[in-house]
Chain A
């Protein structure tokens, strides 16, 4: 069965420090991968999605970036964190084109980021 792992679960970082959140998926190949941010009372905001290695689409301009160095690995990064980057970050995957589960998102457990 497929599983998704996300780490770290909790992170407290000072303003201006770098960020790296990692997400990996097991048990499937060629998944679509997503990064969402959830701020209190604001629902979920899609940040990035990827349909393949090295292919990243950004939905919201910001000081965050994403990379997909391997088929089942998705990384969210920042060179210098802002206070406004605080939030709950969720990685998700779905099947790729033609995959039976192409239209269903499965989420990781999330990473709570606090920027001080």
Chain B
């Protein structure tokens, strides 16, 4: 079974600073990888996804993530953080499958705080 580890429970950065959120996964084959963001009391919004091809993926809100197969990682980055980026971020992995039904395995999340 697949698993996802987000090593950092809470990260605090200053507004304008760069950001990198770490995600490591365990899966025996090529996975589908996702990053979601959750504002307090809200649902999850998809930031970006990796299915295949270019290992550097661009997402919404200026985020990007890089898939590194050798490191089993899919770290999320942003060059300059805005105060509105304060939220909780979840990495997720799904089995590579053509089936319509599948299950995402989520990491436990990283809470991002932004200092003005």
Chain A residues positioned under 8 Å from B34 (CB to CB): 104-105
Chain A residues positioned under 8 Å from B42 (CB to CB): 109-110
From B97, B104, B109, A105 is in contact (CB under 8 Å) with B104
From A92, A97, A106, B101 is in contact (CB under 8 Å) with A97
- The total of Cβ contacts below 8 Å across the A-B interface reads 64
From A32, A42, A105, A108, B100 is in contact (CB under 8 Å) with A32
Whether the Cβ atoms of A46 and B103 lie closer than 8 Å is yes
* Chain A: minimal CB distance from B43 (Å): 4
Interface of B, helix, strand, loop or mixed by DSSP = loop
State the CA gap A108–B90 with chains docked (Å): 16
From A103, A107, A112, B44 is in contact (CB under 8 Å) with A107
Taking the complex as formed, is B32 at the interface, i.e. its CB lies under 8 A from any CB of chain A? Answer: yes
Kindly report which residue of chain B lies nearest to residue A112, judged by CB atoms: B41
10 pairs, CB–CB < 8 Å, chain A vs chain B: A32-B100, A43-B106, A43-B109, A46-B104, A49-B103, A94-B102, A103-B102, A105-B104, A107-B36, A110-B42
Whether the Cβ atoms of B90 and A106 lie closer than 8 Å is no
* Chain A: minimal CB distance from B34 (Å): 8
State the CA gap A49–B104 with chains docked (Å): 11
Chain B residues positioned under 8 Å from A92 (CB to CB): 44
